[in-house]
Amino acid sequence: PVFQPLTQTYGGAGRPHDLRFGEAPLPDTDAGRAGVSEEAMQRFSYLADSAERHGLRLIVGLVTGWMSGRLFAPPAFERINVLTDPLVRRWTLRFARYFVARMKDKPAIAYWDLGNECNCMAEVESADRAFDWTSSIAGAIRLADPSRPVVSGMHSLGPAERDVWRIQDQGELTDVLTTHPYPIFTPHCNQEPVDSIRNAFHATAESRFYGDIAGRPCFAEELGTLGPEVASEATAARYLTNALWNLWAHDCRGMLWWCAYDQDLLNHAPYDWNGHERELGLFRSDRSAKPMQLAIARFIERIESQGRAPGLPVFRRDAVCILTEGQDHWAAAFATFILAKQAGFDIEFQFADQPLKDAQLYLVPSVAGARAIDSRLHNELIARVENGATLYLSHDGCFLGWFEPTFGLEIQSRAAGETRVEFELGGDPIVIRSRTRLVLRETTAEILAREPDGAAAFARNRIGAGWVYFLNAPLERFVSSTPGVFDHHETAACRRVYESISRDVRSHRAIESGDPLITVTEHETAEHERIVVLVNNSNKERPVAVKLNGGWIVSGVLFGAAPEPVSSTIPANDAIVLRLREG
């Protein structure tokens, strides 16, 4: 309403007559014909020029009709669906074209953003409607300025047929995707304190989930705890430090804290509605800095002190996680990501209907429903296994076809209902809740773990030169909804499953941390040289005694205490960065 303060006038019987600025007709100017306030444009021009003078770059969110739980729309459109109504669409496109054309010569502007969480502004009934809206706005931006990338600005996307706002569509239509990873708003996240491993990886895992499936860069466009009733400032600063290390190490491109200043002195909606929207800033109302702002500054200083650009070579990834129709995709993706990290390897994501990525290890987690894996994907996976790859699948009540020849197990009976799957692996007991009970008899499979009654729980089957692993329980869905599962010894044994399936790919890595709360990324800088980032994802200082594989040695320390002899401690929610050389 600030930039496009349109009001609707009405004639007889309440019929719409024309659009105005209050009582004034729209002026016959470029701004007027777009329904845009000249005063607002002059103010934004001043902002952009000021940003340039101070060395700031801007991501300009254009259709910002949603903010902190309130819809902001031109008065003429407040009771209309702002995403689907043809009249609103006409004026939204006019605004976007005009604004971008007028401001495109401002050097401070780095990206055009569709707007803040535009998928929250109204309901749309189908993915086609969402695609159409996104396409029209992105097209209007590119028509006016083809030189700058277009940022999605969306959150709460999904990859499935049932999802209205789809990751793949945003990847097709925009150049950069975004996440807004607040633990208390995101499923499966708000189960432990923010400075624990689950929340330390939330922004990173979700950004990789979006970016990998979209085939686009993705960054955490909004990050925050939502104030002191979630975490103290000191705790929030540790959480932020931890999140920054993980985002940086996993090629997540950037992070913006939401937001700059506390809003506790504002007395208008939505800030007089929402208690968790008032104390979000890096700076207090008196403009004093909070520890979170100091954490960002310290993180940047530590990277730049080594003379390095903020970026790293892309991190090594050892496996592909295939997400399928019928499941809770974010639950499966998030759990798989952390379990892989704790087991000592890294993954990339894809959806089942996308071309199969090349890998030596494929994970198909917590598969549900009858349409999860079609014959094309099944045949491609089996061909990869025959040539030496490893395939892992965990069962969440799915119907697959090709069951016995694939897994070497014959289903004797099947029953629905809550049950527990119990077994030991590596000497550790594992208990997983399930909602389907399969009784299995091995034909060609090797049983790796049995339940107390002798039933097969975890098995593998040789096909050609490779292996297929089958877990008779939805491990990933279980851990996604179980508090403390990644932190406590009695539940952290779940990672043993991932250790079992990944021995081959882990043998090609240079370094292991030996601690499930200290995770590693490897970044190749030359044929026999790597940078490794070791992050302590806990709120306690932890010792680290790394294991170096295959003739790799530590040739330098970029951040943190020098490991001598190859051991050190990492402060709580912090990191060390090493340089390795082979031979």
First to last CA, the chain: 64
Tell me the sheet residues that pair with 362. 320, 391
pLDDT of the residue at 144: 98
Amino acid code (one letter) for 302? R
pLDDT in tens, 86-101: 999 999 999 999 999 9
pLDDT greater than 90 at residue 370: yes
More confident site: 308 or 70: 70
Helix, strand or coil, per DSSP, at residue 280:
coil
Give the pair of three-digit tokens for residue 140.
């209007």
Q: Residue 482: its pLDDT value, please? A: 93
Checking if the pLDDT of 529 tops 70, the result is yes
> CATH assignment of 1-151?
3.20.20.80
For β-strands 347-351 and 390-395, DSSP reports them as unpaired
pLDDT of residue 184: 92
Q: Average pLDDT, stretch 260-276? A: 92
Residue range(s) of every CATH 3.20.20.80 domain in the chain: 1-151, 191-310
Q: Which fold has domain 319-506?
A: Rossmann fold (3.40.50)
- Phi, psi angle pair for 118, to nearest 5°: -60, -25
Provide mean pLDDT across the span 180-188. Answer: 95
Would you identify the CATH topology of the domain 511-582? Immunoglobulin-like (2.60.40)
pTM here is 0.96
Res 308 pLDDT > 60: no
The pLDDT value recorded for residue 426 is 86
Residue 218 predicted with pLDDT over 70: yes
Give the pLDDT confidence score for residue 564 in this predicted structure: 62
Residue 493 has a pLDDT of: 87
Average pLDDT over residues 210-225: 98
User: Long-range CB contacts (< 8 A, 24+ apart) of 25-32?
Assistant: 30/98, 30/102, 31/98
Alpha carbon distance 523, 533 (integer Å): 8
Residue 429: asked if its preceding bond is cis (omega within 30°), the reply is no
Q: Could you read off the pLDDT of 488-522 as tens digits, one per residue? A: 755 578 999 999 999 999 999 999 998 999 999 99
pLDDT band at 567 (very low <50, low <70, confident <90, very high): low
CA 259 to chain centre: 19
| 3-state SS, one letter per residue, for 357-387 | CCCCEEEEEEECCCCCCCHHHHHHHHHHHHC
563 pLDDT above the threshold of 90: no
Calculate the average pLDDT of the chain: 95
Span 205-226, average pLDDT: 97
- Phi and psi angles of residue 264, each rounded to the nearest 5 degrees, phi first: -75, -10
pLDDT at 489: 59
**Span 276-300, pLDDT tens digits:** 889 999 999 999 999 999 999 999 9
Tell me the residue ranges of DSSP E strands in 292-344. Answer: 319-323
Mean pLDDT of 205-233: 97
**Distance in angstroms (rounded) separating the CA atoms of residues 312 and 301:** 16
The predicted-structure confidence for 432-474, as pLDDT tens digits, reads as follows: 999 999 999 999 999 999 999 999 999 999 999 999 999 999 9
Q: How far apart are CA 72 and CA 81, in angstroms?
A: 12
For 220-242, how does the pLDDT look when each residue is reduced to its tens digit (9 = 90+)?
Answer: 999 999 999 999 999 999 999 99
Stretch(es) of the chain classified as CATH 2.60.40.1180: 511-582
**Looking at the DSSP assignment, which residues form a beta bridge with residue 150?**
112
Q: What residues does CATH 3.40.50.880 cover in the chain?
A: 319-506
Contact 214, 170 (CB under 8 A): yes
Kindly write down the DSSP assignment for every residue of 446-503, as one continuous string.
EEEEE-TTS-EEEEEEEETTEEEEEESS-HHHHHHTSTTTTTSHHHHTTHHHHHHHTH
Question: In this predicted structure, what is the pLDDT of residue 575?
Answer: 96
- Over residues 76-83, mean pLDDT: 97
Neighbours of 420 (CB within 10 A): 12
Q: Give the CATH number of domain 191-310.
A: 3.20.20.80
The answer, yes or no, to whether residue 484 has pLDDT greater than 70, is yes
Average of per-residue pLDDT across 394-414? 97
What gap in Å lies between CA 189 and CA 117, rounded to an integer?
Answer: 20
Structure confidence at residue 562 as a pLDDT band (50, 70, 90) = low
- pLDDT tens figures, 374-392: 999 999 999 999 999 999 9
- Judged against a pLDDT cut of 80, whether residue 309 lies above it is answered with no
